Amino acid sequence: MSKKNLSADLIRDVCRYVEDHSEEALTLAELASRASMSRFHFARIFKAVVGVTPKQYLATVRLRKLKMGLGTASSIDRAALDAGYGSTSRIYERAASNLGMTPKQYRRGGEGVAISYASLPTPLGLMLIGATDRGVCFVGFGDSAGELRERLAAEYPKARIEAMREPYHADFRKWVDAISQHLAGEIPRPDLPLDVAATSFQMRVWKHLQTIPTGEVQSYGEVAAAIGAPHAARAVAQACARNPAALLIPCHRVIRGSGELGGYRWGVARKRGLIDGERALRARNALESLRS
């Protein structure tokens, strides 16, 4: 096995450890030790493989566990503790920039939430980004602004939806710029706040998709096995098809067991373009890491 592949495997092992122990007070030194690397080298390799820092990855895992728990736990306090937060105050501290809706709103499914949207041209065609005032809730591609507006409305039929007025809000502008930079091959998958609703199974699938390293793919069966439902490959495919946030929840990284691309909500040609672009970006990052 090459040194590059070994490093990637070690990082994936650490990701799985974080998933299983996110409620603990994990430190960079502890995670680096598990990969048998120095803290500096581990942090650099981790970001090259995963696309975000270890701290950002841990925060993302905790937030997604919180979102899942808010729909099933007996109380918000219980969901907070299970996700790794010391108290509900820690949730509200982060809600404005990460969770989007407050915990109580999320438990009610986000009814009454206002969504603003804007469309812009990209190398993969017209893209529409929808967001609440605290997180991205929709990213999609299509042939016309009207078509994409209808898809957004179908995704959130109870929300109040209106076009974002220019000049865009500063946060929305940052989110648009980050997604555009990703599509241009300048940065890995943007680590942006998400504000999406899902069934518990969909959330399990989407959460796992975000752990698939940039430029790599897994089959529907592999994803099913990874979330503890080895016979649910068809359900995984359906969860991928229901993903409302292209790129941010990277369902394009899931293919058929035969190696064929399979379907994609936004078109198979775009799926191929995204995979090829990510692989090219990953190769450049790996080369720069070896040179430094």
Interior/surface letters 46-56, b for 16+ CB within 10 angstroms, e for the rest: bbbbbbbebee
251 noted as active-site residue: yes
Q: Which two tokens stand for residue 237?
A: 């495919």
> For residue 1, how many other CB atoms are within 10 A of its CB?
8
- CA 210 to chain CA centroid, nearest Å: 5
DSSP the chain: --HHHHHHHHHHHHHHHHHHHTTS---HHHHHHHTT--HHHHHHHHHHHHSS-HHHHHHHHHHHHHHHHHTTSSSHHHHHHHHT-SSHHHHHHHIIIII-S-HHHHHTTSTT-EEEEEEEEETTEEEEEEE-SSSEEEEEEES-HHHHHHHHHHH-TTSEEEEPPSSPPHHHHHHHHHHHHHHTTSSSS----B-----HHHHHHHHHHTTSPTT--EEHHHHHHHTT-TT-HHHHHHHHHT-SBTTTS-GGGEE-TTS-----TT-HHHHHHHHHHHHHHHHHHHHHHHH-
Active site residues: 251
